[in-house]
Amino acid sequence: MHSGPRPDRFEATMKLIDRIHEKQVFVRRTRVLAARIAAELPPDVEILDVGCGDGSLAAQILRLRPDVRIRGIDTLVRAAPHVPVEPFDGRHIPYPDDSFDLVLFVDVLHHTEDPMALLHEAERVGRRWIVIKDHLQQGWLAFSTLWLMDWVGNARHGVALPFLYWTPAEWDRAFRELRLTTETRAEQLGIYPWPFSAVFDRSLHFLVRLALPSPPDGS
């Protein structure tokens, strides 16, 4: 008797999941998020995309907003990324203070063991804004749903999965600690097509643009 699923059946199942995710989720997610983020960007800004992956999202944003400039950093630099990408250790951003107008995190902070460390780094290298797209642990079966989304979308790529999802109160507490001012916020992002949206959209996502505190001299 077999003690578990046969390896060939498991591999076939994973390939099927990958195809469904790529066709039904990934392409739409990138397109929707690029449009939503592009609408949040002030004009003519220099952006650091933290955890940018292969830069495909940044490239779509640039097509919608040719007035902005985007550089990326990631713990794994992919072959032939769509935008310039530098390696980093996942904790310390390798740029001097005040290097960028805006720092962007798209589904990155929940993949780190210490989101506050990266937010402090973003505050250090950013001059004006931080834009965050991430998850909210709220509502029915929120943790289980987010866990499944993360595993399907990232496990096969070797992405770190600490499954760290903050509640709205935890996000708000972090923003207060950093003295960040919320300028815009949205929770209904429409990332997933029907019927996936009924399970995976709900109130599990948010996009926020935050203003960094002004320096003491007001400059």
Beta bridge partners of 100: 126
Residue type, 8: D
pLDDT at 21: 47
Label the pairing between strands 205-211 and 181-186.
antiparallel
- Spatial distance between the Cα atoms of 117 and 114, rounded to a whole number of angstroms: 6
pLDDT at 25: 67
DSSP-derived secondary structure letter, 101: E
Longest dimension (CA), the chain: 74
pTM across the whole model: 0.85
Q: What is the pLDDT confidence band of residue 194, given thresholds at 50, 70 and 90?
A: confident
- Spatial distance between the Cα atoms of 207 and 187, rounded to a whole number of angstroms: 6
Q: Give the tens place of pLDDT for each residue, 63-102.
A: 999 999 999 999 989 889 999 999 999 999 999 999 999 9
Residue type, 102: L
Identify the burial level of 165 via C-beta atoms within 10 angstroms of its C-beta, where 0-12 means exposed, 13-18 middle and 19 or more buried. buried
Mean pLDDT of the 171-190 span:
96
- The domains of the chain, with CATH numbers, are 21-211 (3.40.50.150)
